[in-house]
Amino acid sequence: MYRGAIYTRVMSVRGMSEQTLLVLTALAEQPLHGYAIVKAVHELSGGRLELRVGTLYGVLDRLVADGWAERDREEVHQGRLRRYYRLTGDGLRALAAEVTRLEATVRAASTVLRAVGGLA
């Protein structure tokens, strides 16, 4: 997990991508297969984000390599293989840490905006 520890330190400074954040959020509720993750991310983003298959599996591969997600099960549906992924405890902690980081950032920006009259 040495690579994961380095990744976590970098993320605490830089933050994670929106795609990663939303994939982790989608998986926090229940294990999902690829297409269900794409749909969940689209809904969570209010329709702003359309994950392409290559992007999704790149994110999932990194999450699995870092121990934040793992393969849950596989099943065949209408002749096609569906691979389900689920969030790990480390993934849930990473998601919670990112939410905390983002909330602090929003608080700081809101304070400045209020001070300059840009936010009611």
Give me the residue spans of the domains in the chain: 2-115
Q: What sign has the CA pseudo-torsion 46, 47, 49, 55?
A: positive
Residues 33 and 82 sit within 8 Å (Cβ to Cβ) = yes
Round to whole Å and give the CA distance between 22 and 60: 12
pLDDT (0 to 100) of residue 2: 40
What CATH class does 2-115 carry? mainly alpha
pTM score: 0.83
Q: Tens-digit pLDDT profile for the chain (120 aa)?
A: 444 554 455 455 578 999 999 999 999 999 999 999 999 999 999 999 999 999 999 999 999 999 999 999 988 988 998 899 999 999 999 999 999 999 999 999 999 988 898 776
